[in-house]
């Protein structure tokens, strides 16, 4: 990949703006498009037309997800639609393009040359680093919803993947009594070694937890498990679709359940933007 000195950011939310601000601080030239309604400081980022932004850039950064409707770029701060049409794909065809969730282009059968498109969201280091703002956002919600302190509270985390690991570490640091569930023996070994209590995901304990954090994208909390494990708990569901909770049953049982999605962009857009930047730099370094 040739050296990229000029970046264009097209659409996205605060995270993409923070990505641009951070790249600009590294000395690169950054132009943006699709942020006319961002009524907060966009630093010295130069806003320009779509054509100029693409023309004046070697690397194009597109949002996460790149599209929500399959027709236009996801640009919540713009009232002008940026169409994902042949003209757009023609304009970017000789550029290096970085986007989040490229599979949404496939989903909508959008035709593009995938040789020059790199998906930062698909990278492992992105998911690992993103686990930190996600876990902090989950703890912020827990602090707001729970009428006690996290210190001394009984917390259950279901799932010991990236988010489960970071969350367990942070909660333990705050003095919570942490139980973690998993299904693999190796996870059980690590959970125990780290000083957490272990539970099997398939048979969660029948005991009271003050706060439960679900990270498993599969209905772990069906009606029976909700009744057995989550009555009188605050249940924070962090998992993406199909989520981890039978929401109808949770409502019927009167359980305070919070579906907490897209936390990095909401609670820490600066960090989330820097994570995008670092991942793009890693891709460029590997490809050069
Ligand atoms: P991950 O590293 O893949 O961890 C997922 C965990 O769930 C693993 O422990 C996995 O166990 C377990 N699991 C998956 N399917 C299961 C099943 N059917 N039964 C039992 N256990 C199961 O994922 P992550 O990065 O921690 O992310 C967790 C979820 O949060 C994902 O849905 C992700 O999209 C979402 N997410 C949410 C936010 C937010 O802001 N709320 C931000 C980023 C990501 P095994 O290892 O045994 O498979």
> pLDDT digit string (tens) for 203-215?
999 999 999 999 9
Q: In what order do the strands lie in the sheet with 211-214?
A: 197-200, 177-182, 154-158, 211-214, 234-237, 256-259
Give the residue from 11, 39, 48, 42 showing the smallest Cα distance to 24.
Answer: 42
pLDDT band at 106 (very low <50, low <70, confident <90, very high): confident
Q: Which residue has the tokens 């950054």?
A: 30
Looking at residue 102, its pLDDT comes to 87
Q: Which of 181, 215, 267 to mutate to test the pocket of ligand 1 (most atoms within 8 A of CB)?
A: 215
Is residue 113 over pLDDT 80? Answer: no
- The stretch 133-146 carries a mean pLDDT of 98
Q: Bridge partners of 154?
A: 177
Is residue 221 over pLDDT 70? Answer: yes
Looking at residue 112, its pLDDT comes to 67
Is residue 141 over pLDDT 80? Answer: yes
pTM here? 0.92
Looking at residue 86, its pLDDT comes to 87
| Cα–Cα dist 34/55, whole Å | 15
Expressed in angstroms and rounded, the spacing between residue 134 Cα and the centre of ligand 1 is 12
Q: Which of 13, 126, 129, 159 to mutate to test the pocket of ligand 1 (most atoms within 8 A of CB)?
A: 159
Q: What is the number of the ligand 1 atom nearest to the C-alpha of 163?
A: 26
Nearest CA to ligand 1 atom 7: 216
User: What distance lies between CA 129 and its chain's CA centroid?
Assistant: 10
- The stretch 120-130 carries a mean pLDDT of 97
| Cα–Cα dist 254/190, whole Å | 34
CB within 6 Å of ligand 1 — which residues? Answer: 127, 130-131, 134, 159-164, 182-184, 201, 215-218, 238-240, 260-264
Q: Which residue has the tokens 């929500």?
A: 68
Percent of the chain whose predicted confidence (pLDDT) is above 90: 85
**Of 77-91, 118-132, 168-182, 235-249, where does mean pLDDT reach its minimum?**
77-91
Percent of the chain whose predicted confidence (pLDDT) is above 70: 95
Looking at residue 104, its pLDDT comes to 83
Give the residue from 81, 183, 172, 185 showing the smallest Cα distance to 135.
Answer: 172
Looking at residue 109, its pLDDT comes to 64
pLDDT band at 114 (very low <50, low <70, confident <90, very high): low
Mean pLDDT, the chain, integer: 94
- The stretch 249-257 carries a mean pLDDT of 98
């Amino acid at each position: 990949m040739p050296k990229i000195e000029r970046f264009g950011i097209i659409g996205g939310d605060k995270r993409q703006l923070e990505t641009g601000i951070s790249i600009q601080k590294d000395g690169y030239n950054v132009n943006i498009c699709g942020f006319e309604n961002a009524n907060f400081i966009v630093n010295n980022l130069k806003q320009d037309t779509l054509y100029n932004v693409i023309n004046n850039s070697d690397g194009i950064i597109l949002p996460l997800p790149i599209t929500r409707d399959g027709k236009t770029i996801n640009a919540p701060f713009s009232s002008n639609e940026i169409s994902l049409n042949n003209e757009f794909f023609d304009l970017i065809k000789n550029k290096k393009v970085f986007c989040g969730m490229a599979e949404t282009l496939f989903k909508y059968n959008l035709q593009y040359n995938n040789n020059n498109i790199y998906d930062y969201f698909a990278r492992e280091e992105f998911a690992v680093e993103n686990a930190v703002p996600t876990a902090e956002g989950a703890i912020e919600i827990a602090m707001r919803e729970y009428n006690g302190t996290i210190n001394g509270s009984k917390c259950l985390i279901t799932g010991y993947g990236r988010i489960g690991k970071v969350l367990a570490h942070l909660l333990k640091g705050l003095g919570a009594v942490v139980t973690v569930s998993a299904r693999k023996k190796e996870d059980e070994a690590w959970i125990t070694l780290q000083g957490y209590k272990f539970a099997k995901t398939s048979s969660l304990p029948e005991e009271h937890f003050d706060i439960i954090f679900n990270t498993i994208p599969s209905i772990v909390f069906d009606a029976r498990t909700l009744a057995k494990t989550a009555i009188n708990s605050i249940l924070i569901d962090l998992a993406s679709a199909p989520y981890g909770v039978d929401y109808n049953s949770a409502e019927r049982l009167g359980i305070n359940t919070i579906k907490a999605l897209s936390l990095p962009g909401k609670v820490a857009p600066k960090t989330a933007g820097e994570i995008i930047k670092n991942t793009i730099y890693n891709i460029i370094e590997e490809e050069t």
